[in-house]
Amino acid sequence: MNRNKDRLKRLKDKLGLKGILVGTFSIIFIVVLLVLFFGASSTGWAKVTGRSSAVTQCNDHIDNDGDGFCDFLWKRAYCTDGSEPGDKFCSDKNDNSEGFCGDGSCDSTEDCSCKIDCGACQPGDCIDTDGGDNIYKKGTTTGPGLIGPKTDYCQATTVLSEYFCNQDYIMTERLRTCPSGWTCSDGACVAGTPVCGDGSCNGVETCNTCASDCGTCVYCSNGVCDGNETCLSCAADCGACASECLGVNGTSTTGVCLTQCGADSQCNTQLPDGYSYSCNDNKIYDVSGSRACKCDLSCKAVFTVAGCNPDGTDASGLCISVCGAANNCWGRAPGTFLYNCNADGAYNVNGGFSCGCTSVCQVGILGGEPSPSCGDNVCNGAETCSSCTGDCGTCPGGNETNSTG
């Protein structure tokens, strides 16, 4: 009898141990299946939750490709390594590649903002018409780093989006807050409070609060596709958009060439039949290339007959490298102003001479030091914000004396 009890006890112990082992292996098996299903990179989890827990190159707060910029530019973008937010090769925060900078080749998608591939930018590469990081005067900046030109604009009543050339001559964007008592109006910080009826739609004025300054409001669903309405903003007035792309010509609803609409990569974000460039035999942008290319009406890169003129222009009348024009003059008309300079041609934002593309498409001095004249929209000579606000902008603090001559 006791022997049978001992056998029964041993059998129960074995079954209990087996149950524990089976339960343990079942849990391990389920965990393995979950890992395989969701993926080690969290892509599966992203599909379930709608967001990714993985840190990407375009949202890791560091410059991964050595071009001086980090991450996709959005309102909370910041860099921890001293670089500037807004890598132009980041399509969004989930993009895991900041681009091709650092591969040793300065290709068609790069410029001197990628110093490691294309070399350092020079003073004349970046031009800001308001003289720099100047929140008191509206300006337009053209240069490497961002697809431009870019003009300063107001994002809110006291918040300005300011474009300027940084110390490396690369176009940079910063959000600036106007001083206390100042408002943002037409791309600059101005003193005082907007007054309805003064003929200027500024500050917090809108078509709803001050029609005399800002004009009559345009309302969606009034049966007329007018103002800034489009098929995207008001289908009721303008009709439904067929798709993001208008058709086989490679343009988007905004009229620019896009690769996702069938455009060649060389024409991406450019206007159809409005972009010419020096190229190599593969139609790739090359500032020293021996061929001339352009984007045609279908947003395709095609060779053009340069038809070079003695002054360095092609048949369009614009300077082009393949015709012997200086690199900084490419795509510009002869006599185009580039930057303020000294008598020796050296870049100086306060210089009394004008440098640009000469009549033969070379960079040089266009004219001698002009006589300062308040009201000519050029802040030069002895003019300052105290003596001529019209040319130099309003001084911080508003304690200036405005001169008209």
What is the full per-residue pLDDT of the chain (405 aa) written as tens digits? 556 556 656 655 555 555 555 556 666 666 556 655 544 444 344 434 434 446 888 889 988 777 778 888 877 888 998 888 888 778 778 877 776 666 676 766 678 888 888 888 888 889 999 888 888 889 999 988 877 789 999 888 888 889 999 888 888 888 888 888 788 888 888 877 677 887 777 665 677 778 887 777 767 777 777 655 655 567 677 766 555 666 556 677 667 777 767 778 888 777 777 677 777 778 887 766 767 788 887 788 887 765 678 888 877 777 877 677 887 777 788 888 877 888 777 777 777 788 888 989 888 888 876 566 687 666 766 778 888 887 788 887 654 444 444
Q: 354-395 pLDDT, tens per residue?
A: 888 898 988 888 887 656 668 766 676 677 888 888 778 888
Q: How far apart are CA 364 and CA 53, in angstroms?
A: 53
Rounded CA-CA distance 331/318 in Å is: 6
Distance between CA atoms of residues 101 and 113, nearest Å? 9
Q: Where are the alpha helices (DSSP H) in 104-224?
A: 115-118, 211-214
Contact of 347 with 357, CB cutoff 8 Å: no
Task: Tell me the pLDDT tens digit for each residue of 191-225.
Answer: 776 778 877 776 656 777 788 877 777 677 777 77
What pLDDT is stored for residue 19 in this prediction?
Answer: 54
73 contacts: CB under 8 Å, gap ≥ 6: 85, 86, 87, 90, 173
Q: CA 194, 195, 198, 201 torsion: positive or negative?
A: positive
Helix (H) or strand (E) holding 383, with range, is none
CA distance 295 to 250: 11
Residue 94 is classified by DSSP as: T
Q: How is residue 34 written in tokens?
A: 């979950």
CB of 157 closer than 8 Å to CB of 183: yes
Taking alpha carbons only, the member of 66, 60, 58 closest to residue 89 is 58
37, containing H or E segment: helix 2-38
Residue length, the chain?
405
- Determine the pLDDT at residue 313: 83
114 dihedral zone (left: phi>0; alpha: psi -120 to 50; beta): beta
Instruction: Specify the 3-state DSSP secondary structure of 300.
Output: coil
Q: Supply the pLDDT for residue 48.
A: 40
- Determine phi and psi for 387, rounding to 5 degrees: -95, -25
Cis peptide before 123 (omega within 30 of 0): no
Residue 373 CA to its chain's centroid (Å)? 35
Task: Count other Cβ atoms within 10 Å, centred on residue 203.
Answer: 22
171's tokens: 């176009």
**Sequence-ordered list of residues with C-beta below 8 angstroms from that of 373, at least 6 positions apart, any chain:** 405
Domain boundaries, the chain: 48-120, 123-214, 259-326
Q: How far apart are the first and last CA of the chain?
A: 124
Across the chain, mean pLDDT equals 74
φ, ψ of residue 240 to 5 degrees: the values are -75, 140
Q: Own/partner pairs for 213-218, CB < 8 Å, 24+ apart?
A: none
Return the pLDDT at 39. 44
Determine the residue type at 304.
T
| Residue-level pLDDT at 190 | 86
